[in-house]
Structure 1
Amino acid sequence: MSSDRSLFLISGILGAVYVMPGAAFAQDVAGSQAQPAAGGLDEIVVTARKKEEGVQDVPVAVTAYSEQLILQRDITSVEKIAAIAPNFNVGRASNGSGAQLTLRGIGSSSTSIGIEQSVAVVVDGAYYGQGRVINEGFFDLQRVEVLKGPQALFFGKNATAGVISFTTNDPGPEREFITRAGYEFNAQQYRIEGIASLPLSDNAGVRLALRYSKMEGGLYDNIQTNRTYTTLDVVNLGAGGNGNPIVHTATPVTSNQPGEEEFLSRITFKVEPSENLTINVKGSYNYNRTANSSWNYVPFACGQANGLSQLTGLPCVADFVTRQNNMPTDIAATFPLARADGAPFNRYESVAFNAAVDYEASNLVISSITNYQWNNNRFMCVCDFQTGNNSGTWATEDTSWEAISQELRLRSEFDGPFNFMIGALYQSTERIFDQFIMFAGLRNSAAAPQNVFLATTKNSFTDGETFSLFGQVNFAITPELELAVGGRYTNETKDSFFTQPYNNPALTFIFRDQSAPLGEVTANQKFEDFAPEVTLSYKPTDDLLFFGAYKTGYKSGGFSNGGINSAFSPDPFSDLTFEPETVEGFEAGIKSTLADNQLRLNLTLFTYDYSDLQIDFFNSPIFAFQTLTADARTRGVEIDFEYAPYAVKGLNLHGAINYTDAEYTDFPQAPCFAGQTIAEGCTLVGGLSARQDLTGARLSVAPEWTGTLGAAYTTAVGTDFEFGANIDARYSDSYLASGFGNPLSEQDSYITLDAGMRFGAADGNWQIAVIGKNLTNEFFVTGVVDGPSTGAGTGTATGVRADQLGFGNLPRTVMVELTKRF
């Protein structure tokens, strides 16, 4: 059956079922999922349109999760949200942007640090633009919102696929002291958390939240042996010289991966000088360190027919295991940013300051958000991700990101049919990038000590400025029917620089030297965009909402700071720069609350076309990273339900099912996957590039069917105690993890199971909980790269496919947690 007919049939069936008496399907679960003793659904407030509204009243496809559910299921990172959101996937990457976030089949390549995510992350109303936000820990949260589809009007650029929005807790009117201590058995991880909230006066308060955690064990096992690595001195190589070979020993990376240590802190001051004015200031510091930046890179599929890796000679296994070695210690002794013992690591630090001011003047609300953020990520990676003899590729990197932004909004609250919102945003950004790479078994005794074993170094930066004007006009045509028309204008500049200050002289045929023509690349880019949006909503009763919307979006073009200035490439400027990504399409839905607030039933249909979808790949024949663009489409149906019957107090049943058809609509010059043959559709172009036609092929990490099903129950035990339990399953259909059609990257369908139990005082004074995640220990990958130094014969009749190194998920975890309130 064609995708068009499938979508039409599904839509018709769902529409028919929806109007049947007693139908029980929905689109957006509000996320309460643990009910008070009286039964019925809890109200969830969202800020999808930059103002507080009930989740069932906003004409946006948004799924919101309450503070109670966040605590029950330990949703404390972007990565963990994927465990509860059925059509959202997170791939944790080693280098590049550090992550691949995919929603409704649309995501961004992780291999380029210059490509920002199509799924934007927003914290307390401020945009966090880097994939490294995956290393941020989020706790003491008031709610989490997953907004699906383009969100340009209210959230700006880089939200072409959707938004993940975190709202942290504020100080309250009462004194509150909370301590939590937890222990996770698989990673042997202990966690300590403290929260103190104090009223300073009748109109001011402060809240301090601290968390520390450390793993004594790990989640992945590194199963590797000693490897040898031989270097040759280019000073004595050729003309009768043998290069004075030196054999180095690379010992295995520690078996406990990732060995994470984390410290998170946040302080919040909230002041209400008058009933019209609210000032909320937050400051945070995060520190995260792991024993390896590529701790979840698994060789899960081998390219050779015998099932053995071309690099290590070992079988590929889809399991929570890696095969990586430390940098030899004698090399690490002088290698920039390396540890003396040669062990890989990843260290992430961030500082953020956020000031929100709201002033209500008669029928107008003036809002201001001032944000400053800085983060630094430093790592050493085992950059072939599986170590063989004489195949070691190691690199270190030091990257900083700094951003300052100011947003102002004016919103009306008139009693009449007409209302409006206008706003402006200014943001200044700076990215600084340094990288040091070794491979090919070469050394240069004539170089400075820090460069002896290096193949190349990279230095790059990008300074950016963004200015946006946005607004929306709301007109109530009748008391039940509202038309909203708006748009966002964006003007953006990016000034970038890239150079390779040092290249091993034997590798000048690969790397363009700094002194050679085009040895330095500069780019002064300017982008301009207008993204309109029109929404029509009909609310015949308080419990029923129909909406339809035309939406567009814009994602910034930019500069690939971590690319390569290849001597084989005729146009390094084009290799390192890329154009913006845009989207337009339609969304329609029904939201309803039925059976006297016992049942939520919602349905959404969507179709979006993407132009210049940004895709990064490594063009091995010319030894260059290149960002290509393709056209794509995603369309589908999403249905969710949540049921909390009065007849069974404390019971909550919830579920979701999504159908998504995401494919390339125009990608005739797509790169071939490594080892793709002529018979498989790959042809050589000009002897330098291998190309295939992926028009009509599915996008990466884009399963057709996804869904969740779960139940939660809370009940009184006597008069003084309370017991609660929950169980939740998540299903994903099969998909390709590769964006280039590699059949070896196929991830089979899977089901994960989470469950938890809680027992404590009825007044919440204390509680002990057990939280289990991925209890079936299901392994799957949410992204992939071709194994370096594997694969051959691309575009020929006898190619050998590269090994597939997948971004593995989190294995089974079981945590015991004790909470005490004072």
Structure 2
Amino acid sequence: MIRFILFPLCFTSYGHTFALPFPESQTLKANQDKHKNGQSPLETITVTAQKQEQNLLEVPLAVTLLNREQIDIAYGATIEQLQSQVPSLSFRKGNTTRNSALTVRGIGTISFSIAAEPSVSTVIDGVVLGRSGQAFSGLYDIERIEVLRGPQGTLFGKNASAGVVNIITREPDDEFTASITTSYFQQDEYRVKTRLSGPLSGNIFGSISLLRAGFDGHLDNVYHRTRADGYNHRGVRGILQYKDDKHNRTLKLILDYFDADDTCCTDIEGLPSGFNTGSEAAPDSRGIVDGVADIDLGQRKIDHDFTTKTRDKSSALSFHFDQTYTKHRFNAISAYRRWDNTEIREGDFSSTGGKSAQPVDFSSVFYQMHDIGPQQWQQFSQEFRLSSVSLGPDNRNNNYQLGAFFWYQDVDRNFSRFASCQNDKGQNQDILQQNPGLTCLATDIVDARADMYSKFINYALYGGGEYLLRKDLYLLYGLRFGHDRTSYRHKRVNNDPWGRAGVGVQGRSKDTRLKGETRDNKLSIKLGARYNLSRTGQVYGHWSQGYKGPGFNVYYNMKPTETGVIDAEQSDAFELGFKYSKNNLLLTSALFYSRFTGFQANNFDCSTGVCITRLTNAGDVSTRGIEADFVWQAGDNLEFYGGVSLVQAQIDKFNCPLAQACSARSGLEVPFSPDRKYSIAANYYLPTELVQIKINTSYSYTDEQYAELPDNEGIFAAAALLPSYGLWDAAIAFSFADDKYRLSLIGKNLADNSYTNTYSGSGFRYKIPRNADRYFGLSLQINFE
């Protein structure tokens, strides 16, 4: 899908993003001269999706590039806010950054397990992240974000079955520069970003970037009389770079630290739960009416006696070596990352749970459930890459890249649950009989703790490129061999003195000690061709294979019956694309079809009489569609751009749990895959002698989508259907003194169209994003040189 943000001059297309910096008078004049000479500035857009600088028209890939100007002026603090600019990319917000996930064209992995990998890989400065959530807390000082759809194993170190989100930070400048940007939005949201960059001595350059941001939240907790769903962020990134132009050598050291203390990710009660019926936070909803959920999208209150929080601390160190020879280029990246994530969760979603000295009955006597789950992720990676100097028709017939990759990660997590004692089915009857006077009431809080550990080892050899068959016709090829090894340990212990069971707490008789290991090898192939249409564009087509390694469903209440290996997820992707640019028009379009076998997903299982979700090889799914977009430079000061995407992601075959019948699921939709998206935007520039003015506006639409899989009978829960929504944004920016000062007035969601982008389950829980309300802001940027 093609999505556009309203603030910058940008064009997010199936093949790229076109975005110009703020047009100073000289830049504007240069564009005017190009128009007079019949030359279009759209013909020279450069992208680096294939690890080399290339003209957009030569890149036979589906890639979206969000550049620095677009990211900065979008005023998005996280990927959740920026993902609206990216075609076919969706964000599913979990109860912590660890459980949040990205999906591409409707395909992604949403899992609580610490022994499973994502379908969409996330990379920062060439370093693969073990969990996408490491990049979800905050973004600052970003040079560009590239989103590649489909398998990318012959280009990137770690393979992925659905796509790659590649984030590149800014490098030090050759000359001294400094800037400070302060932004303030309604409800006391603020961000301050500072950057110093330039030469230190001789061939040594450096930069340091600082971030401070905070927001109390846009939800009101009526129990504590505080605000929720806010954040408190601090970050610092330092880069030291050595450039030896004489020997074409570059060395770079990157140090990064980020600290987040968020009251995230809080669920609102969008449908009646029955927990807080007399509360001022009760939803204005009739519930499910004629099979349709009457979701209270205006709900901005919660009634919780325990504050949901996420605490993140991440640190990173990476060393980059780059050496260019006459005909080749050699790169090496050595990296270490550590991520400490703590989940603090209100699990009963009320202020009434555990307050009544009566047995829990789930109708009038409600239970308490409070969770605390700290974890630590550590990873080391090493990548070597050898490539021909550049790709393109002006170079030798065979342009290629070869790579070797090693990746190690271990995860150490514990999870404690404090919940009301539960005896509705006689779970604790023997214990109560053996201990006269002992009770099992909602006010009797029992607890258990699970200690979990997982380890991943991956290494691979890969390569790919293009070979000139004859004039303007190129063969595309790629090959990858990878080895994956995954292991885990799990121990759960009931800490109640009598070993009583509780809501979501197993009794002492079910304490477990589990472990397992699996490994797999995979050979992946890419084949295709592209044909240059003189200087106006190209057509291309290719088939590529994707792969995501095997794993285990390791979570708090893991049972001995759930120790089976989750087999690898594999994909075959076909793509046919067309790119055209001439004069003042740029047009891209593509047809795609991808089939996934062994799709790893949370399978809805009612085999035990109680419906739960289990991470399994759910079956086979496919996604297909057509995407098209355009940018039209209508005049020297006026641009239009827009796009449309029609995508169908469906279940082809489902693996039924415990021999149950579930064939009714075939042909149904895959979650988080809206069938239709479109957007249209315009930018107008008004230059004067004293000030440059930019006015932009846009509208984007997202179709309705389901947020979870159907049940075994092929029926979607009515509560899981997220309504469609449209967003209208606008901004006006004033630039003074050759852009030394830039003042921007920002308006988000001007039509005040509320929406939800995540259904969290339980029949009533939803997440409402910050951008679901109309709000305004002010930003001031000062540049020093």
Q: In which range does the TM-score fall when normalised by the shorter chain?
A: 0.7 to 0.9
Distance in structure 2 (CA, Å) of the matches to 1:406 and 1:25? 32
8 Å Cα contact 1:262/1:289 also seen in 2: yes
Q: Name the % identity.
A: 21
Distance in structure 2 (CA, Å) of the matches to 1:508 and 1:319? 34
1:626 to 614, 620, 625: 614
Q: 1:733 corresponds to which residue?
A: 703
Matched, 1:607 2:579: no
8 Å Cα contact 1:294/1:382 also seen in 2: no
Deviation at 1:766, TM superposition (A): 0.8
Q: What does residue range 176-255 of structure 1 map to in structure 2 within 5 Å?
A: 176-185=177-186, 187-215=187-215, 217-222=216-221, 224=222, 252-255=223-226
Distance in structure 2 (CA, Å) of the matches to 1:94 and 1:142? 29
Per-residue CA deviations over 1:154-207 (Å, capped at 9, x if unaligned) read 12545322222211111111110101111111x311221110012123432101
Q: Aligned to 2:265, what secondary structure does the other structure show?
A: coil
Deviation at 1:459, TM superposition (A): 0.6
Matched, 1:493 2:455: no
Deviation at 1:323, TM superposition (A): 2.5
Q: 2:500 corresponds to which residue?
A: 506
Q: 2:310 corresponds to which residue?
A: 346
Matched, 1:274 2:245: yes
Per-residue CA deviations over 1:448-487 (Å, capped at 9, x if unaligned) read xxxx944321110101111011011421112311112112
Q: 2:764 corresponds to which residue?
A: 803
Structure 1 gaps, min length 5: 1-23, 225-251, 328-342, 447-451, 671-684, 788-801
Deviation at 1:496, TM superposition (A): 0.5
Deviation at 1:511, TM superposition (A): 6.2
Q: 2:567 corresponds to which residue?
A: 579
Q: Aligned to 2:500, what secondary structure does the other structure show?
A: helix
Distance in structure 1 (CA, Å) of the matches to 2:403 and 2:54? 19
CA 1:278–1:458: 2 relative to 1, 3 Å: same
Q: 2:782 corresponds to which residue?
A: 820
Q: Aligned to 1:571, what secondary structure does the other structure show?
A: helix
Q: What does residue range 408-807 of structure 1 map to in structure 2 within 5 Å?
A: 408-413=384-389, 415-441=395-421, 453-504=445-496, 505-507=499-501, 519-566=512-559, 571-574=561-564, 577-595=565-583, 598-617=584-603, 619=605, 621=608, 626-628=614-616, 629-645=618-634, 648-667=635-654, 669=656, 693-718=664-689, 720-740=690-710, 741-787=716-762, 802-806=763-767
Q: How many residues align?
A: 706
Q: Aligned to 1:82, what secondary structure does the other structure show?
A: helix
Q: Aligned to 1:506, what secondary structure does the other structure show?
A: coil
CA 1:639–1:617: 2 relative to 1, 3 Å: same
Matched, 1:407 2:377: no
Q: Aligned to 2:298, what secondary structure does the other structure show?
A: coil
Q: 2:110 corresponds to which residue?
A: 109
State the AA in 1 paired with 2:262: T
Deviation at 1:614, TM superposition (A): 1.1
Distance in structure 1 (CA, Å) of the matches to 2:160 and 2:508? 37
State the AA in 2 paired with 1:46: V
Deviation at 1:124, TM superposition (A): 1.4
Q: Aligned to 1:500, what secondary structure does the other structure show?
A: strand
CA 1:382–1:163: 2 relative to 1, 3 Å: same
Distance in structure 2 (CA, Å) of the matches to 1:668 and 1:559? 17
Per-residue CA deviations over 1:642-690 (Å, capped at 9, x if unaligned) read 1224xx22322211100001100001527xxxxxxxxxxxxxx79xx89
Distance in structure 2 (CA, Å) of the matches to 1:805 and 1:119? 24
Q: 1:15 corresponds to which residue?
A: none
Q: 1:355 corresponds to which residue?
A: 319
State the AA in 1 paired with 2:623: T
8 Å Cα contact 1:485/1:534 also seen in 2: yes
8 Å Cα contact 2:12/2:18 also seen in 1: no
Deviation at 1:110, TM superposition (A): 4.2
8 Å Cα contact 2:552/2:563 also seen in 1: no
Q: What does residue range 311-326 of structure 1 map to in structure 2 within 5 Å?
A: 315=285, 317-326=296-305
8 Å Cα contact 2:553/2:562 also seen in 1: no
Distance in structure 1 (CA, Å) of the matches to 2:512 and 2:124? 40
1:31 to 3, 8, 18: 18
Q: 1:369 corresponds to which residue?
A: 333
Distance in structure 2 (CA, Å) of the matches to 1:207 and 1:523? 45
Q: 1:163 corresponds to which residue?
A: 164
Q: 2:5 corresponds to which residue?
A: none
State the AA in 2 paired with 1:455: D
Per-residue CA deviations over 1:344-401 (Å, capped at 9, x if unaligned) read 3221110112222111111011011122111111121112335544332110010111
Structure 2 gaps, min length 5: 1-10, 32-39, 286-294, 354-365, 423-427, 439-443, 711-715
8 Å Cα contact 1:581/1:612 also seen in 2: yes
Q: Which deviates more from structure 2 when the two are superposed, residues 471-480 or residues 579-588? A: 471-480
Per-residue CA deviations over 1:200-252 (Å, capped at 9, x if unaligned) read 2343210111010122x422233x4xxxxxxxxxxxxxxxxxxxxxxxxxxx2
Distance in structure 2 (CA, Å) of the matches to 1:764 and 1:735? 42
Q: Aligned to 2:73, what secondary structure does the other structure show?
A: helix
Q: Which deviates more from structure 2 when the two are superposed, residues 383-392 or residues 740-749? A: 383-392
Deviation at 1:302, TM superposition (A): 4.8
Q: 2:289 corresponds to which residue?
A: none
State the AA in 1 paired with 2:487: D
Deviation at 1:637, TM superposition (A): 0.4
Distance in structure 1 (CA, Å) of the matches to 2:557 and 2:233? 33
8 Å Cα contact 1:114/1:559 also seen in 2: yes
Distance in structure 2 (CA, Å) of the matches to 1:308 and 1:545? 63
CA 1:499–1:95: 2 relative to 1, 3 Å: farther
Distance in structure 1 (CA, Å) of the matches to 2:259 and 2:504? 37
Q: Aligned to 2:757, what secondary structure does the other structure show?
A: strand
8 Å Cα contact 1:738/1:785 also seen in 2: no
Matched, 1:261 2:235: no
The root-mean-square deviation of aligned C-alpha atoms, in Å, is: 3.1
Q: 1:244 corresponds to which residue?
A: none
Per-residue CA deviations over 1:788-822 (Å, capped at 9, x if unaligned) read xxxxxxxxxxxxxx335456563334221111112
Q: Aligned to 1:477, what secondary structure does the other structure show?
A: strand
Q: Aligned to 1:707, what secondary structure does the other structure show?
A: strand
CA 1:805–1:654: 2 relative to 1, 3 Å: same
Distance in structure 2 (CA, Å) of the matches to 1:508 and 1:781? 32
Q: 1:241 corresponds to which residue?
A: none
Distance in structure 2 (CA, Å) of the matches to 1:86 and 1:27? 6
Q: Which deviates more from structure 2 when the two are superposed, residues 407-416 or residues 652-661? A: 407-416
Distance in structure 2 (CA, Å) of the matches to 1:548 and 1:206? 42
Per-residue CA deviations over 1:749-786 (Å, capped at 9, x if unaligned) read 21112211110225111111123333333333333232
Per-residue CA deviations over 1:5-45 (Å, capped at 9, x if unaligned) read xxxxxxxxxxxxxxxxxxx9974352315654133536443
Distance in structure 1 (CA, Å) of the matches to 2:76 and 2:57? 23
State the AA in 2 paired with 1:197: S
Return the TM-score normalized by structure 1: 0.80
Per-residue CA deviations over 1:120-179 (Å, capped at 9, x if unaligned) read 221112212213225331212222212122222212545322222211111111110101
